[in-house]
Amino acid sequence: MSMRRRQPMGVELVKRGIVTENDIENALEYQKDHPSKKIGDILYILNASEPNKLIEAIGDIIGTKGILLTHSKIKIKITDYISLDVAKKNKVVPFEVSAGKIKVCFADTANNRNMDTVRLLFLNRGLVMENYVTFESDIDRILQSLEGTETTTLENESGNDTITGLVDSIIKTGIKRRASDIHIEPMQDMVRVRYRIDGELFTAAKISKEKQHQIIGRLKAISNMHQEKQEAQDGRILLYDDYNIRVSSQPNVYGEKFVLRLLKKNEDIRNIFELGFPSTEEELKKSINKKNSITIIAAPTGEGKTTTLYSIIDYLNSPEINITTIEDPVEIRISGLNQIEIDSKSSFSGALRTVLRQDPDIILVGEIRDRETGEIAIQAGQTGHYVLSTIHTIDAVEVITRLRKMGLSDYDIASTLATSISERLVRKLCPECKRERDFSEEEKEIITNIGKKYGVEFDLSGKTYDAIGCKHCNNTGYYDRTGIFEILDLTDELKEMIMSGKSSLEIRQEALKHNYKPLLIDGINKVIKGKTTLEELNKKILIY
């Protein structure tokens, strides 16, 4: 970053109270060994001031907007708008597009030639450039992470160049990187490999098109699929000691796409509170293990319903209790449980009928998919059993609407449903690189307004964090995930409303008067505790 005024950058920053004279002296000493670095970037490296305040002041001094650029602020796929070569040459990162404008970060806004080059590039695409300035080290880190995802190849990671070695490397690398799914996708001119890590898809490799047929053949061979069939198939890979890998193939216009779901065998079940469950143990006991009742966990696909079910079952498991599970498939085997796996010849409803004759105390039904399963689950709850299950819907209150739409009566729902729990998974800040800062005024306003809406007062006197990105977290700024939850315990008043046919809107308004708090409240509490960011929460629950 270069100055555009007569006063040196350091003098201006001292005048504004951003740094001290001693900070400038330390920066000048550092600059003797690193002459190519500017004073602003050195002060950032030396952590001489709060990064947001520092870059905003630098931007003001040089006459542009300063922004601390992190991965969470990048709302576009950078390489869709600019090539890596051009971005690296001009030290530039575009990060957001809206209404014909593209926001672009430069490491040096004094270099008019570079800026004009980039501005013309975007004008040719019909976009007006809005320029920002940020620290050069953050530009370099982001571009380096992009270079890794765009150019990484796996051909040589396996130690040999055979197709067997290549496919083995793809799977082992996915396991090493904590991927939940591996996508192997034929494209027009190559085969793309992507990993889903902490819920996000990342490009890992681009393999030459010539190897496509051999890769598909190898995948079909090890997952016990028919080689000749060019149609959707399901299979399983059992070659890796600790993993049961489910495989799905689906033809597309460029070949057959494969998705591998990596399921760890005998994985340790996480404690319900480790998952992020917001209640105390006393409150948890009130919500679960009620005889003659059902507890239902609601969320879209891939948001942790099954994991939460396992954690609750593990919490309740004891030698005095007969617990039977009906699953599709059995993902984790738990000692002391009777676990039944649904196959193509059976159904949840059929298995549930049989299980009721096996003297169970607690029954886990993987999912209530239809009226028949719902009615038998209700019957089980009404005859002294405790039933746990899941359903696909957006929140805890809408569980009631979903059961109604399946054809279950208001009486059956009100008499048996004890608790509904809704959840989402958000990425946790990487402990290795997260950067502490004060809440901005905009963030305080957003959170305060939400608090007023739901009658909650949030303490914003502490710090929040930015997701930065490092080697530990694959330059994403996030590592692992945590749940955000909402819990609806059906009181007598709510049961009465259900039996009276009240709408979900009316039920929600009544529930808010008691202990019910929507997902958003738990999410913001986890932001305040430094577990995640407001940007990550906004991806799951649109709040601004």
CATH number at residue 247: 3.30.450.90
The whole-number pLDDT of residue 89 equals 85
245 domain residue, yes or no: yes
125 domain residue, yes or no: yes
Mean pLDDT of 143-167: 63
326 touches 314 (CB < 8 A): no
- Examine the pLDDT at 511 and tell me if it is beyond 90: yes
- Examine the pLDDT at 58 and tell me if it is beyond 90: yes
- The pLDDT confidence band at residue 286, using thresholds 50, 70 and 90, is confident
Q: How many domains does the chain have?
A: 3
Mean pLDDT of 194-202: 90
77 touches 201 (CB < 8 A): no
Task: Give yes or no: residues 55 and 119 share one domain.
Answer: yes
Task: Give yes or no: residues 183 and 244 share one domain.
Answer: yes
Average pLDDT, the chain: 88
pLDDT tens track for 423-463: 999 999 999 888 888 998 889 999 999 999 999 999 999 99
pLDDT tens track for 167-182: 999 999 999 989 999 9
CATH number, domain containing residue 319: 3.40.50.300
Mean pLDDT of 360-383: 90
306 domain residue, yes or no: yes
The whole-number pLDDT of residue 351 equals 87
Task: Give yes or no: residues 122 and 159 share one domain.
Answer: no
pLDDT tens track for 465-492: 988 877 788 778 899 999 999 999 999 9
Task: Give yes or no: residues 334 and 407 share one domain.
Answer: yes
The range of the structural domain enclosing residue 415 comes to: 281-427+480-516
76 touches 93 (CB < 8 A): no
- Examine the pLDDT at 3 and tell me if it is beyond 60: no
Higher pLDDT: 221 or 302? It is 221
Instruction: Give how far the C-alpha of residue 53 lies from the chain's centroid of Cα atoms, to the nearest Å.
Output: 29
Contacts of 235 (CB under 8 A, 6+ apart): 220, 223, 224, 225, 246, 247, 248, 249
The whole-number pLDDT of residue 232 equals 92
The whole-number pLDDT of residue 1 equals 44
pLDDT tens track for 46-57: 888 899 999 999
529 domain residue, yes or no: no
402 domain residue, yes or no: yes
Mean pLDDT of 210-234: 92
Mean pLDDT of 356-378: 90
Name the strand (E) or helix (H) holding 106: strand 101-106
Among 141-145, 161-165, 435-439, top mean pLDDT goes to 435-439
Task: Give yes or no: residues 246 and 116 share one domain.
Answer: no
Contacts of 298 (CB under 8 A, 6+ apart): 305, 390, 391, 392, 393, 394, 395, 396, 398, 399, 402, 420, 421, 422, 423
437 domain residue, yes or no: no
- Examine the pLDDT at 282 and tell me if it is beyond 90: no
